[in-house]
Amino acid sequence: MIKKEVLAAINEQINAESYSAYMYLSMAAYFEEMGLSGFGHWMKIQYQEESAHALKFFNYLTERNGKVALKAIAQVPVDFNGIVDVFEKTLAHENHVTQLIDHLMDVAVAANDHATQSFMKWFVDEQVEEEANVEKILATLKLINGQGNGIFMMDREMSMRVFVDPNAAV
């Protein structure tokens, strides 16, 4: 049986991952409206990843006989001030998610919940990758001042991203 404090923290994380998914879908819509389908595609992959993360937590709770308590998802931003702004917000959000993941690991450690600590290691590693990917994109965007022909080259590159479902059997 999963401890009450760990259960509550994981349910909060399911909500946070669902919010992240919706936020990235909103960003995808923004890019699609701009005619940048490659950037839109990249954000749709982010949406799929965050949805998969929520499902990964959901499945973990059900495996541990924990009660999943889904909550309403807060309104996500729908207005942005250009490509650089979107990726600055993305990086800030990923930094926030890293803090949430770290907190959840701290809760598992304090509860002496070794199974959850083991499960959380994947998310800790995933956040390192998430932040690094966004930092790289943001650095490139800043080099080209978020405009010009470089955007079209990046848009093409962004369309190549492929979703890998972390919940799929290996």
The per-residue pLDDT for range 31-43, each reduced to its tens digit, is 999 999 999 999 9
What is the identity of the amino acid at 29?
A
Asked if 120 contacts 13 with a C-beta cutoff of 8 angstroms, the reply is no
For tokens 């889904």, name the residue: 70
Give 75-119 as a DSSP string: PPP---SSHHHHHHHHHHHHHHHHHHHHHHHHHHHHTT-HHHHHH
Burial 49-76 (b: 16+ CB within 10 A, else e): bbbbbbbbbbebbeebebeeeeeeeeee
Domains contained in the chain, CATH given: 4-158 (1.20.1260.10)
| pTM metric for this prediction | 0.94
pLDDT digits (tens, 9 = 90+) for 49-96: 999 999 999 999 999 999 999 999 999 999 999 999 999 999 999 999
* Lookup: tokens for 90: 């993305």
